[in-house]
Structure 1
Amino acid sequence: MDTKEDRNVVDLLLEQHNQIKSLFGQLTQAQGDQKRDLFQDLVRLLAVHESAEEIVVHPTARKEIENGETIVDTRLKEEGEAKRALAELHDMGIDHPEFDAKLAALGRDVIDHATHEEQEEFTQLRAKLPEDRLRRMAKALRTAEATAPTRPHPGAGESKMANLLAGPPIAVFDRVADALRGWRESD
């Protein structure tokens, strides 16, 4: 049976894209505490996912796939826009009158972004790189995710170097804030 540790980077990212799409769908139906919890899950997943992609996947795609520079630069621009929109939504809160409309717009943009990644980056990575390299990239991705920030920080940048330098200290701050928020909500 295929375990998470056996999967390659493309399979892991496709699974995360499906989780992200599912969370957007669930958020359209949710209310109150469930909506807040689902949005927090979405914020965390998107922040971790994008940071890890910027460290592991995009640098490889830039070098290894056809038109890699152009494709990756376009994806990084989209990711920067999504980080800013997600940060705005995070600051505004689920009860803000514009939250649902802005969340729907972000959902469309993120799903469009994921579709482009899947069609332009992931298919070429799968076709051009040997399976053992894709599996090693999956391990690197999981490591990057473990030290990634849990909320968007648009000012930190969208590059491998920016994520490597700023990501771990910001992630420590985010994880402490997450723990305190969880403690306050349960107490």
Structure 2
Amino acid sequence: MTERIDVVELLKAQHTKIRELFDEVANTKGEERKQRFHDLVRLLAVHETAEEEVVHPFARSNIEGGELVVKDRIEEEEKAKQALSRLDDMDPDSAKFLDEFAALRQDVLAHAANEEEYEFAHFRRAADRGKLENLARAVQAAETLAPTRPHPGTDTALKNVAVGPVAAVIDRTRDVVRKAKG
């Protein structure tokens, strides 16, 4: 039988992977940096969409002050989406990319720490292990259908449902084309 993971464990593991990808982008050059950056963009886009669809709604209704906590996280996420969109069009070896990437890295890592402290830390008091495991499965399901690029302005579950499926098809098609070009 496979070990079941709860939503807090899943999201923290993804935050660890995000930190690792930031390091990889910072420590590589050329095509390798470009590929690592696209891996990072994909993980961030999928991760944030799943949080917007599953995690934030749970936090809003199950933790004290949830509405305000989520509002702050969504503002941070929107700022990151805008930065990722700008960076996606830049030469990853340019000084401008490196400067904006460094600022994005700082913002995203602060955002992850804020989620862990102000949102995820309260989940185990708000729900039992079974519920948190169900939330992890819901996050994983949302990730399979999520867009793979940031889409500024799609910061709620409702907006993701409206835009997400079309964006996901377009994004995943672009991913295949980009990979084919090598």
By the TM > 0.5 criterion, same fold? Answer: yes
TM-score range (shorter-chain normalised) is over 0.9
Query: What runs of 5+ residues in structure 2 fail to find an aligned partner?
Result: none
**What is the one-letter code of the residue matched to 1:84?**
Q
Cα shift at 1:2: 5.7
Does 1:138 pair with 2:136?
A: yes
Question: Is this contact kept in 1: 2:8–2:120, CA < 8 A?
Answer: yes
Alpha carbons of structure 1 residues 2 and 105: separation in structure 2 relative to 1, 3 Å:
farther
In the alignment, which residue of structure 1 is the partner of 2:181?
Answer: 184
Poorly superposed stretches of 4+, deviation over 6 Å: none
- Superposed counterparts of 1:146-185, under 5 Å: 146-155=144-153, 157-185=154-182
TM-score by length of structure 1 reads 0.94
Partner of 2:83: 85
**Cα distance in structure 1, aligned partners of 2:137 and 2:166:** 21
More moved, 23-32 vs 90-99: 90-99
SS in 2 for 1:154: coil
Distance 2:37 2:85 in 1: 12
Q: Secondary structure at the match of 2:155?
A: coil
Q: Which runs of 5+ in 1 are unaligned?
A: none
TM superposition shift of 1:96: 3.2
RMSD: 1.1
Deviations 1:96-155 (A, max 9, x none): 330011001000000000001001110101222111111111111011000000011114
TM-score normalised by structure 2 residue count = 0.96
CA contact (8 A) 2:81 2:152 kept: yes
**% of aligned pairs identical?**
45
Q: Are the counterparts in 1 of residues 7 and 135 from structure 2 also a CA contact under 8 Å? A: yes
Count residues with an aligned counterpart: 182
Are residue 69 (structure 1) and residue 67 (structure 2) matched?
Answer: yes
